[in-house]
Structure 1
Amino acid sequence: MAKHRIYTMGFAKVYAALVAKAERKGRTRAEVDHVIGWLTGYGTRALEAQLSKKVDVETFFAKAPKPNPSRTLIKGVVCGVRVEEIEEPIMREIRYLDKLVDELAKGKAMEKILRKA
């Protein structure tokens, strides 16, 4: 079975789309970076390094330094798919990020977005 095309897409392109989505709703790039850091463990410098290396989405998530154990508390529907039911690990991580940025763009408070165990 062939990989989904998002896996080979450059993370920088996905990142730009996520930032644009957040900024259209009055949120900031820094808030998107914070959400990405919470989810993956990438700090600001490490995130910038990944963006400048032009890694693909699959590599970005596969090499995440410290995936947050509380990410499994993310529930809900993204693009018509329930995130907690996605079996493929990298696709689930992609959808977790999408869900978090959706919540950010909808104006949800950061304390609510960043789940606590």
Structure 2
Amino acid sequence: MYCINDKKYPCTTSLTMKYIGGKWKSVILIHLTRGKKRYNELKKEIPTITERTLSLQLKEMESDGLVSRTVHTSKPPLKVEYDLTSFGKTLIPVLEAIASWGKTTADTHKEIKIE
């Protein structure tokens, strides 16, 4: 049993999935591996995610310490950027391995169509 912040995880895989599990977290994180992004940039790069879901996932990942949110108030309009924290960057090899596995699977199973 593993405990972090009084929350128990039966194995390290369940702990990892707490951070990157679900439909959208890993997708958002892989986009942030390419550098800082504004909210609208992420929305354009992930067009099938709803605004509400993107907002909630970013807030959750910020709370988990994976993503930083920087507000630039130097000139209107307000500019907010999201970036991986140093803790979030430790996930890059994991995210790259997931992406590589997905590409191999897509290449192997030709019936999977890329749109």
Taking structure 2 as the reference length, what is the TM-score of the superposition? 0.29
User: Which protein is bigger by CA-based radius of gyration?
Assistant: 2
The two structures have a TM-score, normalised by structure 1, of 0.29
Q: Which has the higher contact order (CA 8 A, sep 6+)?
A: 1
| Greater share of helix | 1
